[in-house]
Amino acid sequence: MIVDAHVHLGAWRHPGFLGLEAGLETIARELRAAGVEAVALTTSDAGDNHALCAAPSALPLPAWLFAWARPGEAAAAELAALCAARRGELRGLKLHASLEQVPLDDARWDPIFALADGEGLALMLHTGRWQAAAGYGLALARARAWPRVTFLLSHAGGDTPELCLGAAREVARGGLANVCFDTAGLREHWALARAMAIAGPERYLLGSDFPLAHPAMYLAQARALPIPDAWKEGLLGGNALRVLGPPRAPLAATPEPGPPRAGPPAQVSAPAREGTGVLITGAGGPIGVNLARSLRLARRPLRLIGTDANPYHRPLSLCDRTLAVPRAGAEGYLEALSALCAEHAIAVILPTHPAEVAALSALRGELGAKLFLPPHETILLGNDKLASYERFLEAGVPVPRSRRVRARVDLEEAFEELGPGPLWLRGSGSPGAGIGVASLPCAAPEIGAAWVSHHRGWGRFMIAELLPGANLTWLGLFADDALLACQARERLEYVIPHVSPSGVTGAPAVSRTVSRPELRALGEAAVRALCAGHGPAHGVFFVDLTEDREGQPRVTEVNCGRFGTTLHFYTVAGFNFPELALALALGERPAPALDPLPADLYWLRTLDCGPVLCRGEELARDERGR
The pLDDT score that the predictor gives to residue 255 is 34
- Summarised one tens digit per residue, pLDDT across range 491-509 is 999 887 766 666 676 688 9
| DSSP class per residue in 151-166 | EEEGGGGSSSHHHHHH
The span from the CA of 561 to the CA of 351, in Å, is 8
Distances (CA, A) of 178 to 37, 142, 474: 25, 11, 34
Q: Is residue 509 part of a domain?
A: yes
pLDDT bracket for residue 42 (50, 70, 90): very high
Specify which residues 66 forms β-bridges with: 42, 92
Q: Is residue 328 part of a domain?
A: yes
Residue 96, domain CATH: 3.20.20.140
- Summarised one tens digit per residue, pLDDT across range 452-464 is 999 888 988 999 9
The span from the CA of 42 to the CA of 92, in Å, is 9
Task: Name the more confident of 115 and 252.
Answer: 115
Cis amide leading into 211 (omega within 30): yes
Shared domain for 457 and 501, answered yes or no, is no
Domain boundary among 465, 482, 502: 465
Shared domain for 359 and 344, answered yes or no, is yes
Shared domain for 422 and 552, answered yes or no, is no
Span 208-215, mean pLDDT? Answer: 94
Question: Percent of the chain at pLDDT above 70?
Answer: 92
The span from the CA of 598 to the CA of 600, in Å, is 7
The pLDDT score that the predictor gives to residue 502 is 66
Question: Percent of the chain at pLDDT above 90?
Answer: 71
The pLDDT score that the predictor gives to residue 415 is 94
Helix, coil or strand: residue 424? strand
pLDDT bracket for residue 121 (50, 70, 90): very high
pLDDT bracket for residue 124 (50, 70, 90): very high
The pLDDT score that the predictor gives to residue 622 is 66
Shared domain for 45 and 107, answered yes or no, is yes
Task: Name the more confident of 46 and 474.
Answer: 474
Q: Is residue 427 part of a domain?
A: yes
The pLDDT score that the predictor gives to residue 17 is 84
- Summarised one tens digit per residue, pLDDT across range 428-457 is 875 444 455 578 899 999 999 999 999 888
Span 209-235, mean pLDDT? Answer: 93
pLDDT bracket for residue 412 (50, 70, 90): very high
Decide if pLDDT at 626 tops 60.
Answer: no
pLDDT bracket for residue 307 (50, 70, 90): very high
Shared domain for 603 and 511, answered yes or no, is yes
| 3-11/38-43 β-pairing | parallel
Shared domain for 120 and 196, answered yes or no, is yes
Shared domain for 169 and 228, answered yes or no, is yes
Specify which residues 419 forms β-bridges with: none
What is the number of structural domains in the chain?
4
Q: Is residue 384 part of a domain?
A: no
Shared domain for 515 and 440, answered yes or no, is no
The pLDDT score that the predictor gives to residue 265 is 31
The span from the CA of 405 to the CA of 409, in Å, is 8
Span 47-68, mean pLDDT? Answer: 87
Shared domain for 475 and 458, answered yes or no, is no
Whole-number mean pLDDT of the chain? Answer: 89
Beta strands in 190-301 (DSSP E): 204-205, 276-281
Contacts of 172 (CB under 8 A, 6+ apart): 198, 199, 200
> With contact defined as beta carbons under 8 Å apart, do 111 and 76 qualify?
yes
Shared domain for 543 and 475, answered yes or no, is yes
Domain that holds residue 333: 276-371
The span from the CA of 65 to the CA of 124, in Å, is 11
- Summarised one tens digit per residue, pLDDT across range 324-365 is 999 998 899 989 999 999 999 999 999 999 999 999 999 888
Asked which of 86-95, 164-173, 192-201 is least confident by mean pLDDT, the reply is 86-95
pLDDT bracket for residue 240 (50, 70, 90): very high
The pLDDT score that the predictor gives to residue 50 is 86
Shared domain for 478 and 543, answered yes or no, is yes
